[in-house]
Amino acid sequence: MDAVGLKQKSEKELRKEAEKAAKLAKFQEKQKRKAEKAVTASSKDREEKKKKEIIEYLHTKKPGEKKG
């Protein structure tokens, strides 16, 4: 025990904590890239929506006339 009253961590515990910290750092980096990708993707989606063409339906038959 230390003077503070905490027990010393074993080598296995330290190794496990290091692995956990590395995994957390990797996850945070992945989340950061995902957020950046979402921002660029959303701006591309907006551009595509603006470019959509509206097609009007033209009535070729008179009301009440058969389709076939």
Boundaries of every domain in the chain: 24-56
Give residue for tokens 């003077």. Answer: 3
HEC string of 7-40 equals CCCCHHHHHHHHHHHHHHHHHHHHHHHHHHHHHH
Give the per-residue pLDDT at 26.
Answer: 97
| pLDDT tens profile 10-30 | 999 999 999 999 999 999 999
| pLDDT tens profile 37-51 | 888 777 666 666 666
pTM: 0.47
Burial string for 21-49 (b: 16+ CB within 10 Å, else e) reads eeeeeeeeeeeeeeeeeeeeeeeeeeeee
